[in-house]
Amino acid sequence: MRQAITLFRRIIAFMHTDPAPPPIMRQTMTELEAHPRHGGRITVLPANENARGETADLIIGDEACFIQPDEALTAFFPMRRSTGRIFLLSTPNGTRSGYFYETWESDANVRRIRARSMDTTREDRLAQIEFDRRTMSDATFRREHLCEWVGAGESLLSWNTLERAMQNKEKALCLT
């Protein structure tokens, strides 16, 4: 719900960057819904809401790296008008699986836009990015700011476990 509220506020703020935005006739934060005068409707639903029955010209999947393939197919595609579009917004989160990763890496006819925070010219953002560079792990910084598909750098087995497995000091377990 917190993410949905944040996304709703950003959509409304973005709409007001237009020199001639459509006037909002009614807006409620409790429903996360706005009704512009031109007859459209902006609705933001948290991931735990059932969106069945809705029809949309534009679907935005925020934090798309957490969307599973079944969720995308059963929620997004039935809601989308035949001429509608789906936008997936996310950092990689280091996971080389899931709907976002599969779509990004596929041969599908989709438009991919990589917007790295590093490419900004805003001084306040550059200062925050430099702070993050000094305080985040390298893998986290690369995922969050460079949009790279890198993991946390932790292996499944520790180096000590692998070394002990190679030493053969333990006798084989025999079951009789």
Query: What is the pLDDT, as a whole number, of residue 156?
Result: 55
* pLDDT value, residue 27: 66
Token code pair at residue 112: 């991919």
How does pLDDT run across 61-120, given as a tens digit for each residue?
888 888 877 777 777 788 888 888 888 888 887 777 788 888 888 898 999 999 999 899
Alpha-carbon span 91 to 93, nearest angstrom = 6
Residue 125 lies in a domain: yes
Number of domains in the chain: 1
pLDDT number for residue 79: 81
pLDDT at 136 (0 to 100): 92
| Three-class SS state of 154 | coil
Given this model, what pLDDT does residue 103 score?
A: 87
Helix (H) or strand (E) holding 9: helix 2-15
Tens of pLDDT along 12-38? Answer: 788 778 787 777 766 665 667 777 777
Task: State how beta strands 56-62 and 42-43 pair.
Answer: unpaired
By residue range, what is the domain housing residue 127? Answer: 117-153
Position 51 scores a pLDDT of: 62
142 inside domain:
yes
pLDDT value, residue 47: 59
Distance of CA 148 to the CA centre of its chain: 13
Q: Residue 59: inside a domain, yes or no? A: no
- Structural domain includes residue 19: no
E strands within the chain? 24-28, 33-36, 42-43, 56-62, 80-89
Predicted confidence at residue 134, as pLDDT, reads: 95
Q: What is residue 99's three-state secondary structure?
A: helix
Q: How far apart are CA 81 and CA 79, in angstroms?
A: 7
108-155 pLDDT, tens digit per residue, is 899 999 999 989 999 999 999 999 999 998 888 988 899 888 875 555
pLDDT score of 127: 93
Does residue 137 fall inside a structural domain?
A: yes
Is residue 176 a part of any domain in this protein? no
φ, ψ of residue 89 in degrees (nearest 5): -115, 130
pTM for this model (two decimals): 0.65
